[in-house]
Amino acid sequence: MTEKTVIQRSHEAVKKEVSSYNELFQDSASVDKRKEEYKTLVTNYYSLSTDFYEYGWGQSFHFANRFRGETLSESIQRHESYLALRMNLKPGDKVLDIGCGVGGPLRRIAYLSGAHVTGVTISPYQIQRAKAIGVPANCQFIQGDFMQLPFEDNTFDHVYVIEAACHAPEKAKCFAEVNRVLKPGGSFIGYDWCMTDKYDKQNSEHLETKRLIEEGDGLPDLKSTDELVDDLKSVGFTIEESRIIPEGDIPWYQPFIGGDSYFSLASFRTTTLGRWVTRNMVWAMEKSKLAAEGTIGTLEILEKAAVGLTRGGKSGIFTPYFFFLARKS
């Protein structure tokens, strides 16, 4: 973890969360079931995975295209800064981050722009972590559901999302809420996880890759780039730009496979070997009761994510950063 403050969670809670999460991905569990229980699905996922994300990824839980000469951290910061630039933020603007995690992007965008940024996450644990890390004067964190945002109409000048709308059971309903709280003329901008035009529903390997990504990342049902744009339009947004961010010199999934020229302990942790080392350490800790029962189950969930994301990236059927810029009339 990147922050010294540790929040203790009971062994029983971890065990129950793993069991509840896995039940939603049993063979008998349908996509409709996951959509109905998305609050439980997403809340449990981030209660279980947040500490591991911080351990391996830092405080910004997202990917970025990356160029030769850039570290992973630098590419992530650039990716976040681009959104601040495209929103044309200025001091005093009221901005909303939906699905804010522990607040890495939020703090950076607030620091760069001087805007006041409010972050919303459905996860109580992430709110605890965000506050433990620290809350700058022009930021705040609120536990809430982006399917039912706890704000008045026309509250924010701009809204952004970074790889979080994919957790929505119905994107159009999520986007309708964003439209409601956004001031007229305000922008809604972001990156999201989508299946690309290369995805073939009749291809068994493609279906398995999609399943692994969903099961490994707490997702009800991944949608295509076209479906995301259609959902934005359906609730009244005008689309000013939409595109898959061009790949850089280094594949976005490189952290999962290793071979990074900028070696660090943090980059090693996400590689195949690094994940194997971590798994064995956690296995030993769980067996000796130093880690909660179910912790190794969390790593098994995250390993599915790593495998699925790598397959999706290599085959080109999945992108983690479909960019869109929409505006409220």
For 261-310, write each residue's pLDDT tens digit. 444 445 545 566 555 556 556 555 555 654 555 566 687 888 899 999 99
CA distances from 234 to 86, 172, 221, 228, 241 (A): 23, 7, 19, 10, 16
Tokens 């109409």 belong to which residue? 153
pLDDT at 256: 86
Structure tokens at 185: 């003329």
What's the mean per-residue pLDDT of the chain?
89
Crossing angle of the two packed helices 295-315 and 204-217, in degrees rounded to 10? 140
d(CA 75, CA 97): 20
How would you class 10 by CB atoms within 10 Å of its CB: exposed for 0-12, middle for 13-18, buried for 19 or more? Answer: exposed
Please check the confidence at residue 26 and state whether its pLDDT lies above 90. Answer: no
**Least confident piece of the model among 12-21, 51-60, 243-252:** 12-21
Which pTM does this prediction carry?
Answer: 0.88
Sheet holding 237-244, edge to edge: 139-143, 116-121, 94-98, 156-162, 182-195, 318-328, 237-244
Distance between CA 319 and CA 309 in Å, rounded? 9
For 39-79, how does the pLDDT look when each residue is reduced to its tens digit (9 = 90+)? 999 999 999 889 888 988 899 999 999 999 999 999 999 99
The size of the chain, in residues, is 329
Do 127 and 102 touch, CB atoms closer than 8 A? no
Q: What residue has token string 């540790």?
A: 6
Q: What confidence tens digit (pLDDT) does each residue in 91-110 have? A: 999 999 999 999 999 999 99
Domains in the chain, ordered, with CATH? 72-249+318-328 (3.40.50.150)
Structure confidence at residue 73 (pLDDT) = 92
Residue matched to tokens 């099961």: 215
pLDDT at 309: 96
Regarding beta strands 318-328 and 182-195, do their DSSP bridges make them parallel or antiparallel, or are they unpaired? antiparallel
104-145 per-position pLDDT tens digit:
999 999 999 999 999 999 999 999 999 999 999 999 999 999
pLDDT of residue 284: 57
| CA 271/CA 248 separation, integer angstroms | 19
